[in-house]
Amino acid sequence: MSRTIYIKSEGNARPLKVTDFEGFTFGELKDHVQEVNFENSNVIIHSTKTTLFDDSSLIPSEGDVILLVVPQKMKAGNDETQVSDTGEFTEVMNAYSELVIATDRFRESLDAVGRLIIEDEENVEVGSTTLADINRAFRSFMNR
């Protein structure tokens, strides 16, 4: 049985590489790997998104295995300061809404300019010729 187990946890910047593990269960792995704290954590097999719930949970016996160790409870901030309490989230959402509205207005204006150019192409000069002449030449070229 040849496999490498990579363990990525919150405490290590790079995944821990385990190449000498011969066991089959999560409990055997915990006994074998002392460098990782599995307490109060969920351990997930990356390829299958399977959570190892207890010591009898099986670890794939072939191929490389990536295990993700994540805290059971994620910290959402303390009670004193949260994003919604500071108004930052509301400010960001308002700015985003204004950006969407401005983008829509810009597109409408650009479309209006395009329509004006098309409607008045006989009078729009490009160098020594008109836009209508350029469009006719282009259409003639495309029809060849």
Radius of gyration of the chain (CA): 31
Q: Is the pLDDT of residue 51 over 70?
A: yes
Domain ranges for the chain = 5-71, 84-142
Higher pLDDT, 40 or 2: 40
What mean pLDDT value characterizes the chain? 79
Q: Mean of the pLDDT values across residues 115-124?
A: 67
pLDDT of residue 124: 62
Query: How far is 85 from 83, CA to CA, in rounded Å?
Result: 5
The fold of the 5-71 domain, in CATH, is Ubiquitin-like (UB roll) (3.10.20)
- Distances, alpha carbon 20 to alpha carbons 1, 45, 58, 63, 118, in Å: 10, 18, 17, 13, 72
Which range, of 4-18, 29-43, 94-108, averages the lowest pLDDT?
94-108
DSSP 74-108: -----SS--HHHHTHHHHHHHHHHHHHHHHHHHHH
What is the pTM assigned to this prediction? 0.50
Residue/partner pairs of 54-58 with CB below 8 Å, 24 or more apart = 54/26, 54/27, 55/25, 55/26, 55/27, 55/30, 56/25, 56/26, 56/27, 57/25, 57/26, 58/24, 58/25, 58/26
